[in-house]
Amino acid sequence: MKHIVSMDSAALIDSGVQQNYGIPAIILMEQAGTALSELFFDKFCSASDSVVFLCGTGNNGGDAMVMARNAFFKGFSSIKVIITKESLRDIPAIQLDIIRSLGIDTYVWENDRSICEEICSKADWIVEGLLGIGQKSELRQDIKSIVSFINNLDDIRIFSIDVPAGIYDDYGLIADVTVNVGVYKQECFFPSYRKRCGDIHLVEISFPPELIKRQSSGLLIEDISVFSDELNISRYSHKGDRGRIGVFAGSAGMLGAALLSGKSVLRTPSGYVYLFVGNDIFEQIYPIAGPLVVKKESDLQSFDFMDSVLVGPGWGRCENRVLLLSSILKKFDKGVIDADAIYSLKLLIDKEDVSLGTGWVLTPHIGECAFLLNTTVDKLLKNPLICQDFVNRHSCTLVLKSHVTWIFSPGNIAVYDGCFSPLGTAGSGDVLAGLIAGLLTAYTSSFSAACAGVIAHANAAKLLYKDKGWFSSDMLVDYIGLSLKEIGIEIYERER
């Protein structure tokens, strides 16, 4: 299981390992530096590359110096160590003594700035150990000027140890690779900071699982195995057993969103899908709706038997939508609220005329979520955890969509590290909403359905991109079935 922890909690794990188990920091540093070196040598760098190890005063710099020593013993032809200043903390100071006694070229940035700049500009790789989890707030000017110099270099690759220096700073280091030490750091997955990390990897050191679990704020999800025990699709089932889903979507000029989300639900294991539209578009949409059963919104009262609903794609924003959403929320207890319905929901919340609950999944993108939470896009990008308070108050699940998708419900957080830009195409959010709505009836928990939907959505995009290259979201619908099957949402061979 891949836990994520905050940088502050990671420091508690560090100190817990030392205090509770007597493993000294220098041993942890040796493990970290060795594991980092193995990854670096295996995956990224060759012995003929010229590598600069850029070290701050703390243990992050100490990790970098262990890597430099390993590179030296491995026969790297061009290794240079740069420290920011002479006054290092105790353990990095020991590492520096070893580096110097081995005869590795060592420079001090604050003394020899122009030489250090020249060395960096000629390197193939910079291993950045300037700052790790010990960094507080925005960068101090001395480090900021180093970071800014490195960011402006061309044709150089940056390997950041643990977290990039200046992760909280708008001018922080932009790495090609970031390797979290011991445990994944949640800040690396905050949408604003994610862009500075490049590819994120993990190396393991002696962090006991129970300490990690105690500090865990959530899970990094890649596949559905963590939720599979909740799946419930019997091979004896028929369409009537696998969920009747009502889709409230579309408005004049926005028929595509209704069709996309409706057809997306149809590609999940759900049985029946009813598309509810306004009278004004009923005649237009009816002939092009394929296997979707099209109904008029005004007939909603006669459809009590639906198991879940999806409300919002292309729905439009007006007073009558707010009223309709209010009736839907009173009539049903499970469903997905997406796109325009998020705006209506916010108005109902402001009027204190709404009660959500564990069956509901909200799927806002960052802008919609900022509106819903009365915050700014920037704050949300820099700290998605502010969604937690909202889900606790409303006992619902919330899927915060961006290049990294965060999924919250009371007591649960999951992160899907998407970073796959072909998926950011118009209408792909409608497809995701349909997918989750369809899965709500297959899973016992809405949180699991939301996580599985996010994984299946991204996997469909990857399969499709591999086959066809850049795509439109109607093509994505055609890959949902295959994607669901591939990630493991299949038919049970035995009745449960």
Ligand X SMILES: NC(=O)C1=CN([C@@H]2O[C@H](COP(=O)(O)OP(=O)(O)OC[C@H]3O[C@@H](n4cnc5c(N)ncnc54)[C@H](OP(=O)(O)O)[C@@H]3O)[C@@H](O)[C@H]2O)[C@@H](O)CC1
Ligand Y SMILES: Nc1ncnc2c1ncn2[C@@H]1O[C@H](COP(=O)(O)OP(=O)(O)O)[C@@H](O)[C@H]1O
Task: Give the footprint of ligand Y on this chain (CB under 6 A).
Answer: 339, 365, 401-403, 405, 418-421, 423-424, 426-430, 432
Q: Tell whether residue 405 is among the known ligand binding residues.
A: yes
Q: Tell whether residue 243 is among the known ligand binding residues.
A: no
CB atoms within 10 A of CB 74: 12
Q: Tell whether residue 162 is among the known ligand binding residues.
A: yes
Q: Tell whether residue 136 is among the known ligand binding residues.
A: yes
Distance separating alpha carbons of residues 81 and 104, to the nearest angstrom: 7
Task: Evaluate the CA torsion angle 218, 221, 225, 229 in order and state its sign.
Answer: positive
Nearer to K ion, 135 or 397 (CB): 135
Stretch that binds ligand X, among 26-34, 360-368, 376-384, 450-458 (CB under 6 A): 26-34
For the CB of residue 52, give the shortest distance to ligand X in the complex, in Å. 17
For the CB of residue 168, give the shortest distance to ligand X in the complex, in Å. 8
Position among 9, 37, 59, 192 found at the interface with ligand X (CB under 6 A): 59
12 binds ligand X (CB under 6 A): no
Distance separating alpha carbons of residues 205 and 435, to the nearest angstrom: 38
Nearer to ligand Y, 56 or 313 (CB): 313
Nearer to ligand Y, 75 or 469 (CB): 469
For the CB of residue 71, give the shortest distance to ligand X in the complex, in Å. 17
For the CB of residue 207, give the shortest distance to ligand X in the complex, in Å. 8
Distance separating alpha carbons of residues 66 and 32, to the nearest angstrom: 8
What residues does 161 pair with on adjacent strands?
179
25 binds ligand X (CB under 6 A): yes
CB 308 within 8 A of CB 359: yes
Distance separating alpha carbons of residues 328 and 342, to the nearest angstrom: 13
Distance separating alpha carbons of residues 108 and 83, to the nearest angstrom: 5
Q: Tell whether residue 341 is among the known ligand binding residues.
A: no
For the CB of residue 4, give the shortest distance to K ion in the complex, in Å. 17
254 binds ligand X (CB under 6 A): no
Distance separating alpha carbons of residues 34 and 64, to the nearest angstrom: 10
For the CB of residue 251, give the shortest distance to ligand X in the complex, in Å. 49
Q: Which does 95 bind (CB under 5 to 8 A by kind): ligand X, ligand Y, K ion, none?
A: none
CB atoms within 10 A of CB 299: 10
Task: Evaluate the CA torsion angle 16, 17, 23, 28 in order and state its sign.
Answer: negative
Nearer to ligand Y, 2 or 462 (CB): 462
Task: Tell me whether residue 387 is exposed, middle or buried, using C-beta atoms within 10 angstroms of its C-beta: 0 to 12, 13 to 18, 19 or more.
Answer: buried
| Cβ-count burial 236-247 (b if 16+ within 10 Å, e if not) | ebeeeebbbbbb
For the CB of residue 163, give the shortest distance to K ion in the complex, in Å. 6
Q: What is the 3-state secondary structure (H, E, C) of 320-385?
A: HHHHHHHHHHHHCCCEEEECHHHHHHHHHHHCCCCCCCCCEEEECEHHHHHHHCCCCHHHHHHCHH
SS3 275: strand
Q: Tell whether residue 132 is among the known ligand binding residues.
A: yes
Position among 9, 37, 135, 397 found at the interface with ligand X (CB under 6 A): 135
Distance separating alpha carbons of residues 74 and 82, to the nearest angstrom: 19
Stretch that binds K ion, among 128-136, 196-204, 212-220, 470-478 (CB under 5 A): 128-136
CB atoms within 10 A of CB 300: 19
Please give the distance of CA 495 from its chain centroid, rounded to a whole number.
Answer: 35
Angle between helices 446-468 and 480-487 (to 10 degrees): 120
Q: Tell whether residue 257 is among the known ligand binding residues.
A: yes
Stretch that binds ligand X, among 50-58, 259-267, 268-276, 437-445 (CB under 6 A): 50-58
Q: Tell whether residue 429 is among the known ligand binding residues.
A: yes
What is the end-to-end Cα distance of the chain in Å, rounded? 25
CB atoms within 10 A of CB 18: 14
For the CB of residue 60, give the shortest distance to ligand X in the complex, in Å. 3
SS3 1: coil
Q: Tell whether residue 62 is among the known ligand binding residues.
A: yes
Which residue type occupies 273? V
Position among 57, 402, 405, 473 found at the interface with ligand X (CB under 6 A): 57
For the CB of residue 169, give the shortest distance to K ion in the complex, in Å. 13
Please count the residues of the chain: 496
188 binds ligand X (CB under 6 A): no
177 binds ligand X (CB under 6 A): no
**Scanning residues 154 to 173, which ones bind K ion (CB under 5 A)?**
160-161
For the CB of residue 84, give the shortest distance to K ion in the complex, in Å. 12
Task: Evaluate the CA torsion angle 171, 176, 182, 185 in order and state its sign.
Answer: positive
**Scanning residues 198 to 237, which ones bind ligand X (CB under 6 A)?**
205
Q: Which does 160 bind (CB under 5 to 8 A by kind): ligand X, ligand Y, K ion, none?
A: K ion
Nearer to ligand X, 203 or 476 (CB): 203
**Residues binding ligand X: what is the number (CB under 6 A)?**
29
Q: Which does 418 bind (CB under 5 to 8 A by kind): ligand Y, K ion, ligand X, none?
A: ligand Y
Annotated binding site: 59-63, 132-138, 162, 257, 314, 365, 401-405, 429-430
> Interface residues with ligand X (CB under 6 A)?
14, 25, 28-29, 32, 56-61, 63, 89, 131-140, 143, 161-162, 181-182, 205
Which residues sit at the interface with K ion, rule CB under 5 A?
A: 60, 128, 132, 160-161
